[in-house]
């Protein structure tokens, strides 16, 4: 693959991770979680716990990536540590739940924010579709142009998001009284808290984005692990600031169940002009997520094609995996036009969480086999144990409460096994 060269430096790697993380989840999840938990304090606690879980995952993945600094993410890790069939199942999950469904989700949320920001009503799903096609065009021709554009957009997004969070907190602190914080008060429900963690885990998803194109990162032994855990720490702090603004700017009863909590909060803080400005900021954040996902995902499919498990035409491209990116764009557009928001959140949180947990368990196996020096995991064994334990427990609560997204996630994983057998037979 002529495009697979180590050309990505530390800034581009960090922008990729942050661009993947700060997207649809943080601007939609709190309203849904508030409807279940009944208290902004509980929702903020869930965001803090979710950040700690994501950090444990990043520290664990860092050790695996240090030992296996090759593109493909979970596909490569599980194929080399466990079995090629496990790797194929993870790659299949990446194809549908790892990248295609998140792209569709970001497109749906972009639709919800961009029309009101522009003061007009856009045709349904048009803005999301256009953003996915634009990102595919930017990344599908040359790596350099797409990366530079993404780095600039991520820098603007971070600066504007942080400025809004700090200003919003100052405005809230200057008020004589906070808005009502219950909608109405409900007893603490551990099951609801766990399901909220599943949704929030999707908002943190992306901390592992760099492992999907590790073969294109310079100095991978240093850059891969550090980019994951540093970016996760920074995004966690930003998420807590942002959600404090979202949750305390308006009455909880007005926020509960809403997917556009950022716009509602902005309207209470600064009226219609600020609401439109924040909606534009969210649209920018969503586009950088779409861009980063379109950049990372097709590298997995290209790696699987090189291993003979997907069609060889996915390798086509001179300076980028152009064919794989085109396929990703088409798949994402298909899901965007048939899916609904709440269904996607539960499905993604469950499926991606369990896939990541399986990868961390494989990393523990690799560390036991080759030693701590080969697979360094800060905080071992606590960090991998916490990540796997919280992820599996939250998924269990989701199954008990709403089995359909979990069933779809299990079906996604199971479908990979016969497809693997077919691919091997053809190979």
DSSP 120: S
Range of the domain at 341: 10-426
> 70 to each of 77, 212, 322, 323, 377, how far by Cα in Å?
9, 8, 19, 20, 18
47 found inside a domain: yes
Give the integer Cα–Cα distance in Å for 37 and 183.
9
> 68 to each of 72, 76, 282, 370, how far by Cα in Å?
10, 8, 35, 12
Residue 195: what pLDDT? 84
Residue 74: what pLDDT? 94
The dihedral built from the CA positions of residue 244, 249, 255 and 258, taken in this order, carries a sign that is negative
Give the integer Cα–Cα distance in Å for 167 and 164.
5
Residue 281: what pLDDT? 86
Residue 246: what pLDDT? 92
CB 401 within 8 A of CB 36: no
pLDDT digits (tens, 9 = 90+) for 17-31: 887 788 778 888 899
Residue 344: what pLDDT? 73
Residue 112: what pLDDT? 78
Contacts of residues 398-405 at CB distance under 8 Å and 24 or more positions apart, as own/partner, are 398/194, 398/195, 398/198, 398/346, 398/349, 398/350, 399/350, 400/191, 401/191, 401/192, 401/195, 402/195, 402/346, 405/343, 405/346, 405/347, 405/350
Give the integer Cα–Cα distance in Å for 192 and 204.
18
Taking 50 as the pLDDT cut, the residues of the chain under it are 183
Helices (H), 123-251: 126-141, 143-173, 190-204, 220-249
112 found inside a domain: yes
Residue 243: what pLDDT? 94
DSSP 353: H
Angle (nearest 5°) at CA 135 between 134 and 137 = 65
pTM, entire model = 0.85
Per-chain mean pLDDT for the chain:
86
Give the integer Cα–Cα distance in Å for 211 and 207.
9
3 found inside a domain: no
Give me the number of domains the chain comprises.
1
Angle (nearest 5°) at CA 26 between 104 and 198 = 80
303 found inside a domain: yes
327 found inside a domain: yes
In total, the chain counts a number of residues equal to 427
191 phi and psi angles, rounded to 5 deg: -65, -45
5 found inside a domain: no
4 found inside a domain: no
CATH number at residue 241: 1.20.1740.10
Residue 283: what pLDDT? 87
Residue 179: what pLDDT? 63
2 found inside a domain: no
Residue 342: what pLDDT? 64
């Amino acid at each position: 693959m002529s495009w697979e060269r180590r050309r990505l430096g530390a800034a581009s790697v960090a922008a990729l991770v942050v661009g993947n993380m700060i997207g649809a989840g943080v601007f939609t999840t709190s309203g849904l979680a508030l409807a279940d938990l009944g208290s902004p304090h509980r929702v903020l606690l869930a965001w803090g716990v979710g950040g700690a879980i994501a950090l444990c995952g990043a520290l664990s993945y860092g050790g695996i990536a240090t030992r296996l600094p090759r593109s493909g993410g979970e596909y490569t890790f599980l194929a080399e540590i466990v079995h090629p069939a496990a790797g194929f199942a993870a790659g299949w999950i990446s194809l549908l739940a790892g990248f295609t469904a998140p792209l569709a989700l970001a497109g749906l949320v972009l639709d919800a924010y961009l029309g009101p920001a522009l003061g007009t009503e856009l045709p349904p799903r048009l803005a999301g579709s256009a953003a996915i096609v634009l990102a595919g065009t930017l990344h599908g021709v040359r790596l350099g142009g797409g990366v530079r554009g993404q780095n600039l957009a991520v820098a603007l997004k971070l600066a504007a998001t942080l400025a809004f969070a700090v200003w919003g907190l100052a405005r809230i602190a200057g008020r004589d009284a906070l808005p009502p914080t219950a909608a109405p008060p409900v007893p603490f429900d551990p099951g609801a808290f766990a399901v909220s963690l599943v949704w929030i885990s999707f908002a943190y998803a992306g901390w592992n984005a760099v492992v999907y194109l590790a073969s294109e990162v310079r100095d991978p032994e240093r850059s891969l692990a550090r980019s994951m855990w540093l970016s996760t720490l920074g995004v966690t702090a930003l998420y807590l600031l942002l959600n404090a603004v979202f949750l305390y700017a308006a009455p909880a009863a007005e926020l509960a169940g809403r997917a556009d909590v950022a716009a509602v909060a902005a309207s209470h803080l600064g009226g219609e002009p600020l609401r439109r400005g924040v909606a534009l900021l969210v649209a920018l954040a969503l586009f950088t997520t779409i861009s980063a996902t379109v950049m990372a995902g097709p590298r997995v499919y290209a790696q699987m094609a090189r291993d003979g498990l997907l069609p060889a035409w996915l390798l086509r491209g001179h300076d980028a995996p152009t064919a794989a990116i085109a396929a990703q764009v088409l798949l994402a557009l298909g899901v965007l036009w048939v899916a609904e928001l709440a269904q996607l959140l539960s499905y993604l949180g469950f499926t991606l969480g369990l896939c990541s947990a399986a990868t961390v368990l494989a990393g523990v196996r690799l560390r036991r086999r080759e030693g701590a020096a080969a697979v360094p995991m800060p905080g071992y064994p606590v960090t991998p144990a916490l990540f796997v334990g919280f992820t599996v427990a939250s998924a269990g609560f989701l199954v008990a409460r709403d089995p359909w997204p979990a069933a779809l996630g299990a079906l996604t994983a199971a479908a990979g096994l016969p497809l693997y057998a077919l691919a091997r037979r053809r190979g």
